[in-house]
Structure 1
């Protein structure tokens, strides 16, 4: 397993790590602690040492499973969770230090841990990034030993650029993949300059970049790929990276032609790792065997300049007009 430094946290994390949104349900499967335990232990057995979760995944059940994993293993496992999405309504005004403090304490209780390696604001409204009192809270929580580091999970590039102006922000989690190519233009450069760790989520565009979907593919009623294609439940960009499904399928076919006889998911993950500014990528897994498949991407040779250009050409022609300036 290759490792990269997670920005100014100084943590050395597996470049392919694990996101647990699927483990927490809402992808058409109910939460199962037995399945979660299998997935999480398989990840550690394979050499993964960084797990990303959130208090809203499975209504806290994902955090409980991650905490159980950490307590049961001898390896050093770095845990990142998130707070803020439990606010109802999820508005900028609802973000208050007292509420966020309670969320942190709830996460510690869920995981039965004394401290959190990384706590991330969970895609708050843009106005929150302009409120210093929100970020100051996490200095106090760090002084109290409840957290070690603060990060943000963002929807928009502008949010990341604003967040890293706060000196206690150490990481930015963002959507970055073959269908979302704006971040390197400025955010990556500023993150490198400030020694910010970059955690990449939605690396396969909600499965589109596996190349396994077709116009006939269906999704369960409670799978966000069924109910959130137009942003009905949360930010549209979280589902298929905001790309129209039919357009995405057409772009995938072109990508398959550019990389014949190679699993597109492996290529998509390897493409992300071509960017040195990326600290780690956190694909999800709903079965243990998917973890081993994800890890194969790290074993691939670097993509050539011609291959990188082919990906860019497909993006520029098919995807850029749809998403580039939205996020």
Structure 2
């Protein structure tokens, strides 16, 4: 495994992290604690130290799986990133709640679920600009940093071209930007990444496999069932993505190289990216994801 500095946080994160949206049940499968334990144990065995989760991956469900795991392991072995701003109701149904009083309750609920007394990175989660521009919210969060409940603040931008929230990071003491970035979606390179570089912000690249399109598993014409998150995408977008992936596989991926590993390493070839946070369904996928570090210079 290789490690990079997460911007001005000074945390050293594994270049491959573990995304845990799937633990909340919205990937069309339900996890149990033993399955989560096996995934996280394999991650640690591979040198991974970063877990990314959120309050609304289930109703703190993903956090609870992670907390149960960490309660039986060394907490200091992991850098835990979670998020705030939503109440989960059912699959793909959430409401935005970003007022300071409620976010404080969300923080305490996350700490309880994670069975920890501190969160390494607490991220504003895909909220609109008008709720981001709330001094009361960030003043409250700064107090939680001072109290030791949170080590660092970050922003998971909903639009991967949200320059407003990125540019305002230093003002609100947000030290990390999480953004969609992959070979099919390079928009952050234009404005967001230069802003991150100017401010020495850490960058976490989410959806690095483009919701599985870059996994190498799917050919043009592939169909996704109703329980698959890709089924919710526009059919024409899916068709174009599958055709572009086939072209990338043919023209860009070296012979004999696993496409998913290549796609993760592609993100990391950009030095602004501190870590990629792909999801995974089993320990075998963790091993495959971790292997992408070998392709990074």
Query: What TM-score, normalized to structure 1?
Result: 0.82
Distance in 1 (alpha carbons) for counterparts of 2:171 and 2:204 = 18
What residue number does 1:237 align with?
none
| Structure 1 residues 37-82: Cα deviation after superposition (integer angstroms, max 9, x where no partner) | 1111111111101100111113222111212232322362110111
| Structure 1 residues 89-131: Cα deviation after superposition (integer angstroms, max 9, x where no partner) | 735xx42100100000000111111111111111112322222
Distance in 1 (alpha carbons) for counterparts of 2:195 and 2:128 = 21
**What SS does the corresponding residue of 1:66 show, helix, strand or coil?**
helix
Residue 243 of structure 2 is aligned to residue 250 of structure 1: yes
What residue number does 1:78 align with?
79
Q: How many residues align?
A: 288
Report the structure, 1 or 2, having the larger strand content: 2
What residue number does 1:229 align with?
233
Q: What are the residue-to-residue correspondences of 1:1-327 with 2, within 5 Å?
A: 1-74=1-74, 76-86=77-87, 90-91=95-96, 94-156=97-159, 157-158=161-162, 159-215=164-220, 217-226=222-231, 228-230=232-234, 244-258=237-251, 259=253, 260-300=255-295
Distance in 1 (alpha carbons) for counterparts of 2:118 and 2:152 = 10
Tell me, yes or no, if the aligned pair for 1:7 and 1:197 is still in contact at 8 Å.
yes
Distance in 2 (alpha carbons) for counterparts of 1:194 and 1:16 = 23
Task: Mark the CA change 1:38 to 1:120 in structure 2 (over 3 Å): closer, same or farther.
Answer: same
Let me know the Cα RMSD of the aligned residues.
Answer: 2.0
Tell me, yes or no, if the aligned pair for 2:221 and 2:242 is still in contact at 8 Å.
no
Q: Which runs of 5+ in 1 are unaligned?
A: 231-241, 303-327
Task: Mark the CA change 1:62 to 1:220 in structure 2 (over 3 Å): closer, same or farther.
Answer: farther
**Residue 207 of structure 1: how far off its partner (Å):** 0.2
| Structure 1 residues 265-302: Cα deviation after superposition (integer angstroms, max 9, x where no partner) | 11111111111111111011001100110112111265
**What SS does the corresponding residue of 2:80 show, helix, strand or coil?**
strand
Query: What TM-score, normalized to structure 2?
Result: 0.90
Distance in 2 (alpha carbons) for counterparts of 1:243 and 1:131 = 38
**Residue 30 of structure 1: how far off its partner (Å):** 1.6
Q: Which runs of 5+ in 2 are unaligned?
A: none
Which has the higher mean CA deviation after the structures are superposed, 52-61 or 204-213? 52-61
Runs of at least 4 residues of structure 1 off by over 4 A?
A: none
